[in-house]
Chains A and B, each alone.
Chain A
Amino acid sequence: MSGSWQTTRRSVLSTALGVGLATGAYGISFGAIAVAGGLNPLQAQVLSALMFTGGSQFALVGVLSGGGGAASAVTTAVLLGARNAFYGLRLAPVLRVRGLQRLAAAQLTIDESTAVSFGQDERAYDGRAARLGFWATGLAVFVFWNLATLIGSLSAEALGDPRTFGLDAAIPAGFIALVWPRLRERRALGVALGAGVVALALTPLLRPGIPVLLSAVVAVVAGLLEVRRRAGLRP
């Protein structure tokens, strides 16, 4: 560990701001896509402020606008948001929050705040750097994501057909960018390919939204196989 707390603090804050700006800007496409997909600007804003987890927000809109119906849209969005529980579990000992602070920490528990927090040395400055990384990134993303959602949803009505601007292609691009870092692991790549094949094969047969849900079975099978493999390795 080199440099002072001031230096560390500045570098954590600038990372947080950078991540906030980059992720936030993406909120413009969320706002625009949500409105194009049939939500009104208030509903788009409620999602960005209260749901505040991009993958689930896009999933909800993607399934609803694909004609998938409310139940499968909600289930897909919530299942996708389940990963935040595991982030929270790993963050809790670092953040040491209680009471109202815990409610706020829960809301800011997303991919980006977790990533920046884990990017810091957990023991440095008694965990202050890791805590600052979490709170600063969470707040920066929250502010920019919500501002951008507002800009996107209000301009969507003025822009007309979002397909002209390729905004419908922005949705799968965002999803593949989210999953991309994981695809370097062979097992994850196998799960992704399997889930993709399952979803495509079921698309002509089932209501939109259901094939995405059923692709979760691939993850369950992969998980159970992994547990069995580990059990087999045990002496």
Chain B
Amino acid sequence: MSATWIAVLAATFGCYAFKLAGQSMPRSVLDRPVVQAIADPLPVALLAALVVTNTFALGNALVLDARAVGLAAAVVALLLRAPFLVVVIVAAAAAAGVRALGWAA
């Protein structure tokens, strides 16, 4: 089995285990204040890290390319209260646009 398949299946198993645990666990376990206090900001931290690495990282290098233009466009769309799908399309279109014009890699 390839490493990709192993990653796909292992991550799928882990994600389902969390879903099922929440539906099955006695409240007392996940209700502990320290668990709640850490679980609440956890997605915020991971998502923010994924935003910056998927925008500015190229392997180990930090780069400024068309993805940054896409992210800026996404932020503008979010400030204008655009729905999720529009935000994504605007970002892709902005990045594709500056690449087509040859303004950014």
A contacts, CB < 8 Å to B: 22-23, 25-26, 29, 38-39, 43, 46-47, 50-51, 53, 55-56, 58-60, 62, 64, 66-67, 69-70, 73-74, 76-89, 91-92, 95, 97, 102-103, 105-107, 109, 163-180, 182-183, 187-188, 191-196, 198-200, 203-205, 207-208, 211-212, 215-216, 218-220, 222-224, 226-227, 230
Contacts and interface: CB of A to CB of B under 8 A. Distances in A.
B51 A109 contact: no
Contact of A199 (B15, B49, B73, B92): B49
* Interface size class, chain B: 35 or more
B16 interface: yes
B interface majority secondary structure = helix
B25 to A, nearest CB: 7
Chain A contact surface mostly: helix
28 contacts: A22-B83, A25-B85, A43-B8, A50-B12, A78-B15, A85-B39, A89-B31, A106-B16, A163-B66, A164-B96, A169-B71, A170-B91, A170-B92, A172-B67, A172-B70, A173-B88, A173-B91, A174-B87, A187-B41, A195-B46, A196-B51, A203-B62, A204-B60, A212-B53, A222-B41, A223-B39, A226-B37, A227-B33
Given A22-B83, A220-B38, A60 B19 contact: no
Contacts of B83: 22
Interface of B: 3-12, 14-16, 18-25, 27, 30-31, 33-34, 36-57, 59-62, 66-67, 69-71, 73-75, 78, 83-85, 87-97, 99-100
Given A172-B54, A177-B87, A223-B41, A85 B34 contact: no
